[in-house]
Amino acid sequence: MKEPILKITYGGILSAVVLLATYAITVPIPNSMGYFNLGDGVIFGISAIIGPFSGLCAALGSALADLAYQAPIYIPGTMIIKGGMGLLAGTVLTRMPELRWYWQAVLFVICELIMVGGYFLYELLIFGHGYAIGTVTTNLLQGAAGIVLGLAIVPLARRVKNVLHF
């Protein structure tokens, strides 16, 4: 995308898509303020469309979902963690457009391990070790769902990218 206004517009739209995917279809995680959602898979999809700029879209959309879900304490951590996931995925998928699905899976696993580790460290800092350890399993399950959804969405996202001439 050569025009900054167009990039900002698409960025806003894709941030809203992340917000909706993260907030609209959720399953609360018992004994925590977290929830299962489709956001990670959508972050991987928009990474294939808009590249490294998806880090900003992921950070904003996911942080707004935390605000909407009444978990504002997570906003700073979420912005860094999800933004980092989007930045990494967007950078790799842009620089390696012919990346095969199994290497995409490896990339998404790395991104999700960043998510699990990032939330563990954030929750350790905010809530203590008992709480942080207790959320690792559910974050791993959330990550697994994000990987599967991402692998399904990325081929479709690449078609969208080609049609819209990003």
Mean pLDDT of 63-86: 96
- Residue 36 clears pLDDT 70, i.e. is over it: yes
Report the pLDDT value the prediction gives residue 76, as an integer from 0 to 100: 98
Q: 36: which DSSP letter? A: E
Which one-letter amino acid corresponds to residue 73? I
Report the pLDDT value the prediction gives residue 33, as an integer from 0 to 100: 64
Q: Could you report how far apart the first and last alpha carbons of the chain are, in Å?
A: 5
Report the pLDDT value the prediction gives residue 30, as an integer from 0 to 100: 74
Give CA–CA dist 26/83, Å, rounded.
20
Give CA–CA dist 67/158, Å, rounded.
30
Give CA–CA dist 102/114, Å, rounded.
19
List the one residue out of 39, 15, 13 whose CA is nearest residue 26. Answer: 39
Which one-letter amino acid corresponds to residue 44? F
- Residue 34 clears pLDDT 80, i.e. is over it: no
User: Can you list the domains of the chain with their CATH numbers?
Assistant: 4-164 (1.10.1760.20)
pTM: 0.92
Mean pLDDT of 142-162: 94
Please give the share of the chain, as a percent, with pLDDT higher than 70: 96
Rg (CA), the chain: 15
The band of 55, judged by pLDDT with boundaries at 50, 70 and 90, is very high
- Residue 1 clears pLDDT 60, i.e. is over it: no
DSSP state letters, 105-145: HHHHHHHHHHHHHHHHHHHHHHT-HHHHHHHHHHHHHHHHH
Give CA–CA dist 94/46, Å, rounded.
11
The band of 114, judged by pLDDT with boundaries at 50, 70 and 90, is very high
Residue pair 39/60 in contact (Cβ under 8 Å)? The answer is no
Mean pLDDT of 16-45: 87
The band of 29, judged by pLDDT with boundaries at 50, 70 and 90, is confident
Report the pLDDT value the prediction gives residue 62, as an integer from 0 to 100: 97
